[in-house]
Structure 1
Amino acid sequence: MSTSDEIPGTGLITLDSLDLAALVASRVCHDVISPVGAIVNGLEILEDEKDEGMRGFAFDLIKKSAAQASARLQFCRIAFGAAGSAAAMLDLGDAEQVARGFVEDQKTKLIWEAPRQLLPKNKVKLLLNLVLVAATTIPRGGAITVSAVGEGEATEFKLATEGPHARVPANVLDLLAGRAPDDRIDAHVIQPFYAGLVARAAEMTVTIEAEVEGERIVTWARVAA
């Protein structure tokens, strides 16, 4: 099927498996290309620079960028990758670790209140993808609070984001529901679209609501009725 094909009776946009794989790979490359490029720049400085101050700067740049690239790859391995067999169970503790390494910085704080437990792979993949979606609701930074309700197959997730000018990005709700702007999918919008695919595979529904005069956004992933 092409990106303009629809499942009869659902109105959902579908993707050829090769197109989906290519777009997700493009997203992963986008996430790691910046720190990898910074490592290359640092190595070039070390090769050409004799000043000890600049060499120290280059070492710091390489160290920081390598840690960032590693954190992003570890996150993407679980959020987008196989990370075990189709029936694998994943640890929420591992999800917290990779999520913290990916999203936490000087502007964004991650508050993880979900208890450690083993959950079906698609539930954990969905949670990590929703962390990415939640981060887009606070473009100027803030806090993302992740919590879980229930246990095992009945576990549901709540992600609350707070920050200045918090907002739900345009089209994200449609993308999560499998509907695309202009009936097309590209690398710029593949992540929330992919999150919706994972939600349906996990038999969960995702809702996003604005609260407290637009300064707080709440994302729920609930078990489908």
Structure 2
Amino acid sequence: MTAGFQLDALDLAALLCSRVCHDVINPVGAIVNGLEVLEDEDDASMKAFALDLIKKSSRNASARLQFARIAFGAAGSAGASIDLGDAENVARGFIQDEKVTLSWSAPRQFMPKNKVKLLLNLLVVATTTIPRGGSINAKVTGDPEAPTFEVVSLGGNSRIPPGLISLLAGEPENGTLDSHLIQPYYTGLIARAAGMSVAIETIDGGVRITAAPV
């Protein structure tokens, strides 16, 4: 079924770019601050702190950009396949931190690009269901051409964010989108392009998201 809400291609591109910029602005800003400290401070301990900040923030920015390249970008020519092992690596770099841990259960195989993009975007959606942190378990089963994804998030105060189900279905509740809402909307677009349907439900202590062939 085609969603009634339609987003102009230029608006989609602009909102996705805003989303990527939002993801990398903090670590890039931290790098700039660290460099300023190195230039202005003579204290050895402050210089060491600044250098450590630069290193951590550089890794963070790099991980977020590598993730965005696959999750939001072209990541190869049309119809290309992506190694699930590469997807796991960028997912761990993007998601796993002091608040959220990622468990990944998937065979090392190539899968159509849009299906891998969908899986990565489902992981991002899952992070929004555990605002206080917790764990995310991603599982891939089935044939590479017709896989099934299960993403389970567990954590304190877990919930399905308001409007999320409508966004995944391509129908934002107020009829408008911004850079904060574009990612789940885009996830729904990718799912439909990949010939898969997405379902989300609350479970004991968390939220389960599944995607299966239509």
Per the normalisation by structure 2, the TM-score is: 0.98
Paired letter, 1:78: I
> What are the residue-to-residue correspondences of 1:62-211 with 2, within 5 Å?
62-211=54-203
Paired letter, 1:216: G
Unmatched 5+ stretches in structure 1: 1-8
In structure 2, what is the equivalent of residue 46 of structure 1? 38
1:55 maps onto 2:59 in alignment: no
Paired letter, 2:208: V
Q: Percent identity?
A: 59
Paired letter, 1:113: S
Q: Could you tell me which of 30, 33, 43 is aligned with 2:25? A: 33
Q: Distance in 1 between matches of 2:6 and 2:108?
A: 34
Unmatched 5+ stretches in structure 2: none
Q: What's the offset of the Cα at 1:216?
A: 1.9
Q: Distance in 2 between matches of 1:41 and 1:101?
A: 22
Q: Distance in 2 between matches of 1:79 and 1:108?
A: 19
Q: What's the offset of the Cα at 1:131?
A: 0.2
Deviation sequence 1:31-88 (CA, Å, 0-9, x none): 0000000000000000100000000000000000000000000000000000001110
Partner-residue secondary structure (3-state), 1:218: strand
* 8 Å contact kept, 1:12–1:177: no
* 8 Å contact kept, 2:110–2:144: yes
Runs of at least 4 residues of structure 1 off by over 2 A? Answer: 9-12
Q: What's the offset of the Cα at 1:10?
A: 4.0
Q: Distance in 1 between matches of 2:57 and 2:2?
A: 44
Per the normalisation by structure 1, the TM-score is: 0.93
